[in-house]
Amino acid sequence: MGHKTYFHIKQTGRNLRHNWPTQLMTVMTISLSVLIFSFFLLIYLNIVNAGNRLGDELRLIVYLNEEVAPEVKQMYENKIREFGKVERIEFISRAEAFARLGRQLDTEKDVLADLGPDFLPPSIEVYPRRSMRNLTSLKQFSDYLTTLPAAQKVQYGRSWVERFGYFIELLRVIVILSGVLLVMATVFMVSYTIRLTVVAKEEELAVLRLVGADNKFIQTPLLIEGVLQGVIGSACGILLLYLIFRWTTGHLSGPGFLNMLDFAFFPPKTTAIIAGTSVLLCAGGSLISIRKFMRI
Amino acid sequence: MIKSFSDDLPIVDIVKATKVYPPDIIAVQNVSLAVGKGELVFLTGMSGAGKTTLLKMVCCIEQPTKGVIEVAGHDLSRIRQTEIQKLRRQIGVVYQDFKILPKQTVYENIAIPMEVMYRSPKEIRKRVDQLLETLRITHKRNIQTAKLSRGEQQRVAIARAAANEPPLILADEPTGNLDSEVSGYVMELFKQLNNAGSTIIIATHDESIYRKSRHRKVELQHGLFSGHVGHRQLPLINA
Ligand SMILES: Nc1ncnc2c1ncn2[C@@H]1O[C@H](COP(=O)(O)OP(=O)(O)O)[C@@H](O)[C@H]1O
Ligand SMILES: [Mg+2]
């Protein structure tokens, strides 16, 4: 019984040796599909990540006619929290707003000297929770905040949120499409090569049947063949992406878009999931051929 | 081992079997034959008499048009594919057209049935080398069978059938391409296997290998057993 694996692997070796150009083409197709899919996935995940980090800075600013007296702050807070989920609320007085601007201007502080500390309006800064960070919720929230007493106008990075939302949506579609491509290419290519193996080995398979080989003896090597294509193909694809990633981050280092994004490679778990799924797809592809082309 | 490879029942029991190939070629007609465990039977008759067809029906390559064939107690018309595979592992067949793999070596071809049984590589090596020795083809061990003479290919087919020392061996014209000396080695191998317990049916028109033999001979003529048409009694186990 212990020799089963040995014979299955030996048989697999014979099959592989026999039509290696096709095998090579299949492995290359799988690598390419894995590369394309994981490339877009990597970009998508990083952008989403960056979006979340930038989103932490996202706030609605309610400009007020007058300073909020300390005793009504609680009333404001309650009213705001009544409407939506809020991370935190900050009250900015005229003086604080002036001080902050001063800090931002730093060396050119002198320009403020003539204006006096009262020229900026007081405001309330509302940091919405993550679940509120979409255009519709923000718009509704903003409309509501306008109705607060003493509210003059409400501002938030509307166009930015809008564009970022579309961008993420587009990326999501691309990731899904390349995922579909990955599924179709791997399953098709693997089942195609296994079919070639079956056709090319028809005579041998017939002899194996005549001497009483059971299904396992005939099918297991074909399954191993598919799984092997999946393992090698996805390993190559992911390795290639990693090399591209290293090269790009190496050459585009310094202050720039990538650094702003804090671009990172997949964590090991995601890598394992991508590879594992590809291998499963390949196994599926070979099973399709085994079922279809061998009447058992 | 398989159900009822027992001493008392016939290992092969053919009852009134008829085989008609389309459109209307009657290859075997109303033939009955029972072969007991441990027997060596010569199935004789001129070419075209139906010997090959009869053996093909016993190893499930052809289905009888009429009649019943039982092997080791299994009715072959009611057996499932997995059972057929199990049964075939117990039957060594020398096909008249060899059915060996031309691109694989002599050694690989002979090893196939043992690999299918998941024998240990060591055991396989030992047995194959022993068979090569017995049939005098050790020097061709690692040569592709496509490059061998017909006689050498035939010996590969015989060695493959004998590799597992199966309980039942069916040999179709096993000496058809061999000179008398090599035929002698082959018959020696069959006798060894028979003495070790294998039941053997040899289909042949080569009178030289059975003329002086003390084993049972049954003769087919135009798909019928000569003399005793369609009768079960006469070709039964001979004591
Ligand atoms: N596959 C087949 N299709 C049609 N006729 C066949 C087929 N196989 C054998 N026959 C015919 O059946 C008869 C018996 O053939 P066969 O069993 O090969 O006899 P033998 O082995 O005794 O020479 C012959 O007339 C042969 O032409
Ligand atoms: Mg014949």
Task: Starting from the CA of residue B97, give the closest ligand.
Answer: 2
Regarding beta strands B224-225 and B216-221, do their DSSP bridges make them parallel or antiparallel, or are they unpaired? antiparallel
Is the model more confident about A63 or about A200? A63
Question: CATH says A59-156 is which class?
Answer: alpha beta
Give the Cα separation of A128 and A81 in Å (integer).
10
The confidence score (pLDDT) of residue B232 equals 39
Is the model more confident about A109 or about A224? A224
Nearest atom, ligand 1, residue B46 CA: 22
Q: Which residues on adjacent β-strands are paired with residue A165? A: none
Cβ distance A212 to B118 less than 8 Å, yes or no, reads no
The confidence score (pLDDT) of residue B188 equals 92
Residue A252 has pLDDT above 80, yes or no: no
Cβ distance B91 to A214 less than 8 Å, yes or no, reads no
pLDDT tier for residue A255 given thresholds of 50, 70 and 90: low
Residues of A in contact with B167 (CB under 8 A): none
- Residue the block writes with tokens 């002198």: A110
Q: How many CB atoms lie within 10 A of CB B158?
A: 26
Q: Are A285 and A196 contacting, i.e. CB atoms less than 8 angstroms apart?
A: no
pLDDT tier for residue A260 given thresholds of 50, 70 and 90: low
CA distances from A228 to A233, A276, A281, A283, B200 (A): 8, 12, 12, 9, 43
Give the Cα separation of A78 and A67 in Å (integer).
17
Give the Cα separation of A122 and A66 in Å (integer).
7
Strands in B25-36's sheet, in edge-to-edge order, are B25-36, B10-21, B66-71, B74-75
Distance from CA of B211 to the nearest CA of A (A): 31
Write the pLDDT tens digit of every residue in A155-169.
887 777 778 888 888
Smallest CA separation from ligand 1 atom 3, residue: B21
Residues of B in contact with A206 (CB under 8 A): 99
Residues of B in contact with A214 (CB under 8 A): 82, 85-86, 116
The confidence score (pLDDT) of residue B236 equals 37
Task: Starting from the CA of residue B25, give the closest ligand.
Answer: 1
The confidence score (pLDDT) of residue A83 equals 81
The confidence score (pLDDT) of residue B230 equals 35
Give the Cα separation of A234 and A29 in Å (integer).
10
CATH 3.30.70.3040 in chain A is located at 59-156
Give the Cα separation of B92 and B220 in Å (integer).
22
Residue A11 has pLDDT above 80, yes or no: yes
The confidence score (pLDDT) of residue A258 equals 57
Closest residue by Cα to residue A142 from A97, A74, A133: A133
Cβ distance B85 to A207 less than 8 Å, yes or no, reads no
Ligand 1 within 6 A of CB of B47: yes
Residue A85 has pLDDT above 90, yes or no: no
Give the Cα separation of A203 and B160 in Å (integer).
16
Q: Are A78 and A108 contacting, i.e. CB atoms less than 8 angstroms apart?
A: no
A7 at B interface, C-beta within 8 A: yes
Write the pLDDT tens digit of every residue in A127-183.
888 777 777 888 888 888 888 888 888 888 777 777 888 888 898 999 999 899 888
The confidence score (pLDDT) of residue B44 equals 93
Cβ distance A1 to B100 less than 8 Å, yes or no, reads no
Q: Which residues on adjacent β-strands are paired with residue B93? A: B170
Task: Determine the residue type at A21.
Answer: P
The tens-digit pLDDT sequence of chain B (239 residues) is: 444 455 567 899 999 999 999 888 999 999 999 999 999 999 999 888 999 999 999 999 999 999 999 999 999 999 998 899 999 999 999 999 999 999 999 999 999 999 999 999 999 999 999 999 999 999 999 999 999 999 999 999 999 999 999 999 999 999 988 888 899 999 999 999 999 999 999 999 888 888 888 899 999 887 677 644 333 333 433 32
Q: Dihedral sign, CA of B187, B193, B197, B200? A: negative
Of residues A207, A212, A215, nearest to B99 (C-beta)? A207
Complex confidence, ipTM: 0.87
Average pLDDT of span A180-188: 89
B91: nearest CA partner in chain A = A211
Q: What is the DSSP letter of A70?
A: G
State the DSSP H helix or E strand holding residue B203, giving kind and residue range, or none if neither. Answer: strand B199-204
And the tokens for B70? 């039982």
Give the Cα separation of B91 and B162 in Å (integer).
9
Q: Are B15 and B67 contacting, i.e. CB atoms less than 8 angstroms apart?
A: yes
Write the pLDDT tens digit of every residue in B199-231.
999 999 888 888 888 899 999 887 677 644 333
pLDDT tier for residue A109 given thresholds of 50, 70 and 90: low
B114: nearest CA partner in chain A = A211
Residues of A in contact with B120 (CB under 8 A): 3
Nearest atom, ligand 1, residue B49 CA: 22
The confidence score (pLDDT) of residue B227 equals 45
Q: What is the DSSP letter of B149?
A: -
